[in-house]
Amino acid sequence: MNPSQIPKPIIDLANQVASKPVASFSEFISLKLFGKTIARLKAQAENEYDATKQHGEIERRIQEPFIVQIETAKAYRQYSNLGNVLMKATPLISAIENKVEDDNDVFWGLLEHSKEISNEEMQVLIAKIIAGEYNVPGTYSMSTLQTVKMLGKKELKLFERVAGLLVDDYFLPKELFRGQDSVEALMKKMEVDFGDLQTLQSLGLVLPNDMQTTMKNNEKKNISINYFQKRLTFIPQDDAHLDVKTPAFYCLSPVGEQISKHLNPSYVEDYYIWLRQNYKIPHYKLEE
């Protein structure tokens, strides 16, 4: 890409250097993508911009073959998207120096994928993952990269709605998806149904099968679950068993847990009320 074709977000990285971590990140990206320091990249771009103001240069570019104009526009769009993602990532950079290796396919794959993403919400998500992988290489896996590539604006919004139903940040009671009268109105309000669950399962965000766990509670202690900042505490009754079987649930996959931490799900009071009325553990009573 010619310097004159480099979008403003890429050049603006030079103006974001407010700390050593950000300076190291910006310089690393510039050298890897363009083979130039970011200061040199900025200077060349500004010189080229001045040159294009000359009438003859403008006329020459207008007369370029149409296919060249198309490729130039495509490259400009791609690097504009990439620049926007990098601008969103820089405030999240904390590593003092770069430790990303050339064979870190997750990091480089995310950079390449970001060229094709124009949606603001998706750019924010990708920026957070890029920053996380730069700060601590190996945080994310190739599964994360592949899942992000399959996500679009619609799927991301769906996952964020479903994340508003998570208990303890990782599981969904199976009762939500059985179509029973007690939950039908709630799920309609949340705009979530069993088909949506299957979509998230196909994307690798939710594990494919429901599960149920049995935990030991030899001392018959209280059992608690959390929904956002609300806690539901269950008190053992006289006939409580030492083996406690939880209600069946669907669980986020490891990738789903990673991505859900970067979302902004909404607390739903109606769901909290539903949990208090319908989430039951045999031989345990919900604390008032």
- Supply the pLDDT for residue 3: 44
- Supply the pLDDT for residue 22: 84
Are the C-beta atoms of 275 and 165 separated by less than 8 Å? no
Q: How many CB atoms lie within 10 A of CB 220?
A: 16
pLDDT tens digits along 167-187: 999 999 999 998 888 899 999
Structure tokens at 69: 């104009």
Cα 160 to Cα 170: distance, rounded to the nearest angstrom = 13
Q: Count up the domains in the chain and report the number.
A: 2
pLDDT tens digits along 107-137: 999 999 999 999 999 999 999 999 999 999 9
Same domain for 218 and 94, yes or no, is: no
3-state secondary structure of 163: helix
Q: For residues 9 and 274, which has the higher predicted lDDT (pLDDT)?
A: 274
- Supply the pLDDT for residue 34: 77
Last residue of one domain, picked from the residues 109, 128, 150: 150
Same domain for 136 and 16, yes or no, is: yes
Q: Which domain holds residue 17?
A: 3-150
Same domain for 146 and 193, yes or no, is: no
Are the C-beta atoms of 277 and 287 separated by less than 8 Å? no
Are the C-beta atoms of 152 and 254 separated by less than 8 Å? no
Last residue of one domain, picked from the residues 99, 119, 150: 150
